[in-house]
Amino acid sequence: MASEDVKASESAVTTIVNLAEEAKLAREGVKAPSHAIISICKSLVAGGVAGGVSRTAVAPLERLKILLQVQNPHNIKYNGTIQGLKYIWRTEGFRGLFKGNGTNCARIVPNSAVKFFSYEQASKPALVHIVPFGLECGWASLGILYLYQQQTGNEDAQLTPLLRLGAGACAGIIAMSATYPMDLVRGRLTVQNDKSPYQYRGMFHALSTVLRQEGPRALYKGWLPSVIGVVPYVGLNFAVYESLKDWLVKARPFGLVEDSELSVTTRLACGAAAGTIGQTVAYPLDVIRRRMQMVGWKGAGSAVTGDGRSKAPLEYNGMIDTFRKTVRHEGFGALYKGLVPNSVKVSHSIFSVSFVYNFQDCLKFT
């Protein structure tokens, strides 16, 4: 959904900051220590592996969420989380649970590598105030902070909450836009089945087919609701994260806080809780986005088209028309189809951070 795309890579900002730091070291005649490079490589590799593993672990829930969002209202095949998973298993087998996961991992692995590298740096004093409050804003904030400190000449300057919020929103929109075509084909690969009239053979075949049959603009169907969804997601994510963090520091429940600082795992848990609330509020826009992505797809599976000519899918013409027809024909509750499996996926964040730190201990570089 939009929240997931908001979490896409800000690696360009990271690169700029790293290059600037290297230039500074060069000017001072200082060589970057080799052990620092090894540590960075270890963190990036572990983060990338953890991201891929965690996404694969929740791939069945991700596929079911998308199927619930776009299925034909006249031909209900997936009715709830448990029934939906059983139906996929029965009709498509084990492999059916993981359709579209390869494309999703192709988007997530490099993003996760950068994210977990940022978490690895969280204990450093210079970064403790700009660790991503969800997962998406840390390096954008770092880049803006670096430029701000250079401009003011104050190396101890910190971004205001409003600037951090703006950095997160801008970074989210840019990252989401850069990877949006992959998200569109991921959605279609997820929805297609053996009964689809036309089969995409993979990510690159799907991209070329959509480009050839529907034109370049088709790769960005549903982009507008995704952009709009960034605003409530990032805003609520920021507000809830900061409030929860402040409460934990003051109340110190269950011994989670030591010396007025939260551990990396605790901050991640706060980010997961904040992300769940932000996702829930922005979720209707994700449903609208997914439905718009299916418009014009001639080889759509029966989940979208239904069975028989009399059960053809509704045609949508833009975001407002999609919203209006969805509510009119299916009720307001249709805007939250798939919310349950989507919320369950939040636990993968905790799994990821636990996995990455355990996995890092097993990596040996010579």
Top-confidence range, 42-51, 134-143, 241-250, 298-307: 241-250
pLDDT in tens, 67-97: 999 998 888 889 889 999 999 999 889 999 9
For the chain, the structural domain boundaries read 3-364
pLDDT for residue 170 is more than 60: yes
d(CA 253, CA 257): 8
Which two tokens mark 288? 């609208």
Top-confidence range, 24-33, 78-87, 175-184: 78-87
pTM: 0.74
Max Cα distance, the chain (Å)? 75
Strand 261-262 versus strand 257-258 pairing type:
antiparallel
Report helix, strand or coil for 357.
helix
H or E element in which residue 77 lies: none
Q: List alpha helices for 129-263, DSSP H.
A: 138-152, 161-191, 203-214, 223-251
Integer-rounded Cα radius of gyration of the chain = 22
pLDDT for 146 equals 64
Q: Which residues contact 150 (CB under 8 A, 6 or more apart)?
A: none
pLDDT for residue 225 is more than 80: yes
pLDDT in tens, 257-313: 666 677 767 777 777 788 788 888 999 999 999 999 998 887 777 778 777 655 666
Q: What is the mean pLDDT of the chain?
A: 74
**Angle in degrees, CA 322, 67, 325, rounded to 5:** 15
Amino acid letter for position 30: V
What is the rounded average pLDDT of the residues 176-186? Answer: 87
CATH class of 3-364: mainly alpha
Query: Higher confidence at residue 236 or residue 308?
Result: 236
What is the rounded average pLDDT of the residues 1-6? Answer: 49
Which two tokens mark 344? 């369950």
